[in-house]
A and B are shown apart, each in its own frame.
Chain A
Amino acid sequence: GQQVMQIPQYQHVQEGEDFTTYCNSSTTLSNIQWYKQRPGGHPVFLIQLVKSGEVKKQKRLTFQFGEAKKNSSLHITATQTTDVGTYFCAGATERNTPLVFGKGTRLSVIA
C-alpha cells in the first residue's frame, strides 16, 4: 500500500536557525497536506498543495510540492520557540482515498 515517509524523525535547533523537514511518497499524490501538532495537542491544518512544483509561503514557512508530485518539503526560516511541535505531511493518491500520514518530524527549539 501507499507509504509516506518523513525525515528527519527529530530535529533540535537553536532559536533563529532554519529548519527543514522532507516528505516522500511511494506513489504519485493528487495533493499533499501539512499539519502541526503541539505537544499534548491535536493536529492543526497548515496548508494543502495540489500542483506539480507548487510553492506556497506562510510568513516564515515555505512549502514545496515536487515536480513529480511524490515529495514535499516544509522549511521554517529563523525558528522561534512557538514553532515547537511535530510536523506531519499527509498525502492522498486519488480524490476519494484516505489521507496517509507520515510519522512526523518533531522539532525542538532551544532558546
Chain B
Amino acid sequence: NAGVMQNPRHLVRRRGQEARLRCSPMKGHSHVYWYRQLPEEGLKFMVYLQKENIIDESGMPKERFSAEFPKEGPSILRIQQVVRGDSAAYFCASSPGGQGRYEQYFGPGTRLTVT
C-alpha cells in the first residue's frame, strides 16, 4: 500500500515565480492536509481539504497561496509570486477521517528554496 506521495522533493524558484507542489494521499484516504515547517520549528497547519472541497483554510496566508484537491488527480498547493520567506519544507498528510480525530500519514515533503 503506497504511502503519501509528494513531488517534487526539492524545488528552487526565483523571487516572483510560481511554485506548484503536488500531493497524492494514501490509498483510501480522502482527507488531505498541508503543513509548512521552518528549520528548528514545528509544523504549522495551512489547509485541510476533502475531494473538491476546502474544509479549513484558517492557516493559509490570505494572499498568494491557494490549494485544491480535484475529483481526479493529486492535491496541489500553489504559491504565486514567491518571496524568500516562503522557503521552507511543505508537508502533505492524509487521514482516513476528519481532522483532529485520526492519525495523519505524512509524505516526504517538498523543500522549497526561493533565491
Contacts and interface: CB of A to CB of B under 8 A. Distances in A.
Give the interface size class of chain B: 20 to 34
Contact of B100 (A42, A43, A95, A101): A95
A100 interface: yes
B98 A88 contact: no
Contacts of A103: 40-42
Contacts, number: 64
B105 A45 contact: yes
Interface string B43-62: 11100100000001011000
A101 B42 contact: yes
A11 to B, nearest CB: 14
Contacts of A92: 99-101
Main secondary structure of the interface of B (DSSP, over half): loop
Contact of B107 (A35, A42, A93, A100): A42
A90 B44 CA distance: 11
A82 interface: no
B91 interface: yes
A104 interface: yes
B74 interface: no
Given A43-B106, A45-B105, A96 B43 contact: no
A45 B43 contact: no
Interface of B: 33, 35, 40-45, 48, 56, 58-59, 91, 93, 98-101, 103-109
Interface of A: 30-31, 33, 35, 41-45, 48, 88, 90, 92-104
Given A43-B93, A93-B100, A96-B100, 12 more contacts: A42-B106, A43-B43, A44-B106, A92-B101, A94-B100, A98-B33, A98-B45, A98-B56, A98-B58, A98-B59, A99-B45, A101-B45
